[in-house]
A and B are shown apart, each in its own frame.
Chain A
């Protein structure tokens, strides 16, 4: 108990049990969205209420928590969530990817490879990958039940017909273990290959839509594509201005009124490590 005002990790025990049962079913059916009784959290929808509820249900005093927002540890959302759990769950926090046991993330997967035993918690705005193609929940539920995903392939085909390539750059749909199409949350498609057979457990929480889904470790996650238009990740001609990395996902920054541009790593921990430890940059 922290200051006697809230239960440990903010949520009451019965809510945690309900979320825990949903998480176990989500792990048993990889990629399937389990409905859960989402609670009102002390921050608005869109700020990670789903991810926070998942983290609150799993976190304990032995954990070390890392929170990132678009790869950065030092943005408002990440700082707020990290301080929230440091206060209500008495956990140690870190910015180092390899030190963390639980990593809550908004829209990125860390560049540093994850290891077995780590849990990656995604904040998800729209869990239903078919929602933009079919607005009715009753219909999308049936499409998932029947594994009837032609509509998604057609939308990717139309993108190729219009633009010459699959133009989706983030929230790029994936097939989990050959059964369910899943939204990987709005991570750049650059991060999709990191989901495939990852040794870490991936949990996804959508607060507004009240869905939890999961990808267990070592589970095949395939980005959808066509034989003649294989899946490709973004590349840059530039490298990171700060650490010189050619492999990491880069953010483009406007640095002055003349429109001077700069490319830097989106993952602040990865970038900082490369700058402070020369051996990490090799």
Chain B
């Protein structure tokens, strides 16, 4: 039996909050590299940031299995997502629509669903919870949604992450999409974006 007394609140106004959050997420996704803040985000459970929790409450439901990396695979996070989103929590990365990983989690993207050439939309979206969306080494992003280029400095990621990203980007139109989250802020990196080191 789940102890509901420790469960944090979900969205205060599910319909309108989800709409506002979605528009912020859409703004971020259609302008990769742009940092958007999510005012309606509730506090995240456990180690999960408010932005990561808000992303999942906005988009996850019974149709979207969620895979949680080690620092998030805890009862408080699992119960939060099961109760508020109704999302199944899976143990196989390949089954997940959404994967939640930390900046330090080794990220072999191809463990997740990459979609197929015929159905690239079936690929997974990874939520990468990082310490900060600024202050890291600056990298130059180019691609659809960016006017020229964007200089982005996500903190806490290993060089290997960007090496893996180059491989992921090369798979286009297949590949995973990423949203970086920190606190109540979010920054999107769709598979269409090339990142220069």
Contact = CB atoms under 8 A, between A and B. Distances in A.
A60 B118 contact: no
A25 interface: yes
A16 B18 contact: yes
Interface in A118-155: 141-142, 144-146
Contacts of A17: 18, 58-61
B82 to A, nearest CB: 16
Nearest to B143: A177
Interface string A212-234: 00111111000000000000000
Interface residues of A, number: 46
Contacts of B97: 21
B4 to A, nearest CB: 22
Interface residues of B, number: 40
Contact of B26 (A7, A8, A9, A27): A27
A216 to B, nearest CB: 4
Contact of A14 (B61, B117, B118, B177): B61
Nearest to B193: A28
Interface in B112-163: 116-118, 120-121, 123, 125, 143-148
B145 A218 contact: yes
Q: Is the interface of A mostly helix, strand, loop or mixed?
A: mixed
Interface stretch (A30-38, A78-86, A162-170, A258-266): A30-38
Interface in A3-29: 7-9, 13-14, 16-18, 20-29
Interface centre among A58, A60, A141, A146 (most CB of B within 10 A): A60
B15 A8 contact: yes
Contacts of B25: 24
A61 interface: yes
A32 B61 contact: no
B64 A145 contact: no
B15 A30 contact: no
Given A14-B61, A26-B121, A218 B147 contact: yes
Contacts of B145: 27, 216-219
Interface in A177-205: 177, 179-180, 199, 201
Given A30-B192, A34-B121, A218-B145, A20 B58 contact: yes
A28 B22 contact: no
Interface string B20-47: 1011011101110000000000000000
Contacts of A30: 144, 192
A218 B16 CA distance: 29
21 contacts: A8-B19, A17-B61, A20-B22, A20-B58, A27-B26, A28-B29, A28-B192, A29-B121, A32-B120, A58-B23, A58-B26, A60-B16, A60-B19, A145-B116, A145-B117, A179-B172, A180-B173, A201-B26, A217-B145, A218-B145, A219-B145
Interface of B: 14-16, 18-20, 22-23, 25-27, 29-31, 58-61, 63-64, 97, 116-118, 120-121, 123, 125, 143-148, 172-173, 177, 190-192
